[in-house]
Amino acid sequence: MNKKKILSLVAFLPLLFAANAQQNLTSPNGNLVMTFQVDAQGAPVYELSYKGHPVILPSTLGLELKKEDDTRTDFDWVDRRDLSKVDSKVNLYNGFELKEVQTSEFDETWRPVWGEEKEIRNHYNEMAVTLYQPMNERSILIRFRLFDDGLGFRYEFPQQPSLNYFVIKEEHSQFAMAGDHIAFWIPGDYDTQEYDYTISRLSEIRGLMKQAITPNSSQTPFSATGVQTALMMKTDDGLYINLHEAALIDYSCMHLNLDDKNMVFESWLTPDAKGDKGYMQSPCRSPWRTIIVSDDARDILASRITLNLNEPCKIADAETWVKPVKYIGVWWDMITGKGSWAYTDELTGVKLGMTDYSVTKPNGKHSANTANVKRYIDFAAAHGFDAVLVEGWNEGWEDWFGNSKDYVFDFQTPYPDFDVEELHRYASEKGVKIMMHHETSASARNYERHMDKAYQFMVDHGYNSVKSGYVGNIIPRGEHHYGQWMNDHYLYAVKKAAEYKIMVNAHEATRPTGICRTYPNLIGNESARGTEYESFGGNKVYHTTILPFTRLVGGPMDYTPGIFETHCNRMNPANNSQVRSTIARQLALYVTMYSPLQMAADIPENYERFMDAFQFIKDVAIDWDETKYLEAEPGEYITIARKAKGTNDWYVGCTAGEGGHDSVLKCNFLEPGKQYIATVYADAPDADWQNNPQAYTIKKGILTNKSKLKMHAANGGGYAISIKEVKDKSEVRGLKRL
């Protein structure tokens, strides 16, 4: 690891001189310029440009605090002595003076435990601005970090008598746009991210919001122009702008609310059950607000700002037990409605420890039974998969949803037809791990009640990873999925899991913000509309061409690709949904949808029908030394090449939206002077996601770094290529150059 830190300038500015002084900060390569000043009202104001093009017009920063109790000052209800300041103390947005400016340069190269590349450079210029508010005798610090690919800023609250404990009413961080940009957005919502993306002008969001809000198990939209981060935009002059946040810790998740008359976004925090948006005690700080910008869409995908703004790994021995996982699962047959999570259909209610399942009649479709799981273990062992996920193994699924049930699962008691000990023995003999499933039914209090025993149960039975879920309305009742309380819970679960050397894949949790750098046992999240929605009516064709620009900016996604039988009625005659993808694109997603946790989501029988295509899923790596973003346009196509960890082998994937995509791939990322054998999995000429999704071709040939490949992706299609270094000349006998 190479690391250097340079303090290039420390400036102490006299208050009178600095009242309206403009401060400039430039990115290391000079393309981005940020200016900061305190305006005539004492409000902090920043703006940002890229190569002379405006990105953020002058935008104000600050917070509004909740009004303090105007009587109580301590346990004895002593009358306040500062009644005259109660109203003014809510103001943390103007009336400031510029007290101090510190600038510095930082440059390091660090190695993630797992990732898209083996080394990440963290290089930025920083400006730390200390602001003093005379009327309330308090200070805050706004820290800006300007990278070559974007800006991060956060609020810091030093410990001080006049700002000790405080409650946030709203954060007022503005992002003023320079035009009516094209946006790739989902509705702002306190409880779900599982919406299809809409592509529109900013000015069109209000008119499209109603149809964009589709039903979900828990949802709380808040505004006709509210949208979620990461928000992707494209300007008319060819800039790509991405707004998100990093290091969301002990704070409420940020949405964006648009003033569509002036094209100004403002931060909008998720409230708690009382309507408050953050309980703080100094010293403390907000998450980073991030603005990624480039005139090349590929740079947005390549940005590592979100990771770089998080703290280094806090798990000392993480590399010894946090390992990427390729898995299959007892899952898709339940998602399609062929099987069930519940053991019996006779119970209308379950009371844990009291309900006797031995006297109930099995429904005959419970998927998590010992014999069925053994079948999946056999398949995993035969094809080199690390683990088998099993959902619906534990008592309580008969009344788990929609009842606001607190004591819903104990995460330790299996159904009568699920033999924990036997499956542990059987899987161990086969060299396969079973992946635990902890659906909480959004009862976070109940999960914390059982967490230590549940994790110990996992350790005792050979489970080293868990998929957790938070479906439904949160308990404690009134809390939201993305509020401060739940964000603290999600991190608590990850930290607690680390004590037991367990990896966590959290579904329905807050969208990632790079915390996986600090706690790499957070190996995956869902936190967006994934493959399961292909069985619930389908995702839009362009969905997977947008997610890497939005959801994946914060971290990897457990997207669960690999569905080969795209007509769900082949699984369940009552389900007429169709996966909006060709088989070739399903293969490509293992490359384009980055995750160190990759599921082959279909059932074994469907893979056995297409074993030649399944070979790519078996071969493709899940950890990488290098990533090249070859082509990218949000909503249309993404093509990515990745070099497998510790090898000279590469894998390429392309996902395309409606209308498909034609590529001319230059293979100059390959090492000069070497030969490679490429296996190309492509859409057949007549392939189409709707009319001919299972039409694909496979061809094999020789590549060098001078090769060019003409490739075609169909409507909703794609292609995947495995490229393996030739180590023995006999390997290429009979093969032609592609």
Buried/exposed code over 395-432 (b: 16+ C-beta within 10 A; e: otherwise): bbbbbbeeeebebbbbbbbbbbbbbbeebbebbeeeeb
Half-sphere exposure for 444 (CA within 13 Å, toward CB): 24
Output the pLDDT for position 656.
98
- Closest Cα to residue 254, out of 145, 156, 171, 151? 171
What's 78's DSSP letter? Answer: P
Q: Which residues of the chain have pLDDT under 70?
A: 1-20, 71-74, 76-81
Catalytic residue list contains 636: no
What's 732's DSSP letter? Answer: G
* Helical (H) or strand (E) element with 301: helix 297-302
What's 284's DSSP letter? Answer: E
- Closest Cα to residue 598, out of 468, 719, 428, 435? 435
Token pair recorded at residue 679: 């296996």
CA 736, CA 717: separation in Å to the nearest integer? 26
**Other residues' Cβ atoms within 10 Å of the Cβ of residue 166:** 22
This prediction's pTM: 0.96
DSSP 86-128: TTGGGEESSS-EEEEEEEEEEEEEE--SSSSSS-EEEEEEEEE
Options 532, 534, 565, 636, the catalytic residue: 532
**Other residues' Cβ atoms within 10 Å of the Cβ of residue 358:** 6
Give, in order, the Cα–Cα distances in Å from 650 to each of 386, 543, 705: 21, 25, 12
- Closest Cα to residue 331, out of 277, 288, 376? 376
Output the pLDDT for position 534.
98
Output the pLDDT for position 33.
98
- Closest Cα to residue 158, out of 284, 316, 60, 56? 284
* Helical (H) or strand (E) element with 447: helix 444-460
Tell which phi-psi region holds residue 150, choosing left (phi > 0), alpha (psi between -120 and 50) or beta: left
Token pair recorded at residue 635: 């909503």
Give, in order, the Cα–Cα distances in Å from 530 to each of 406, 550, 566, 647: 27, 13, 15, 30
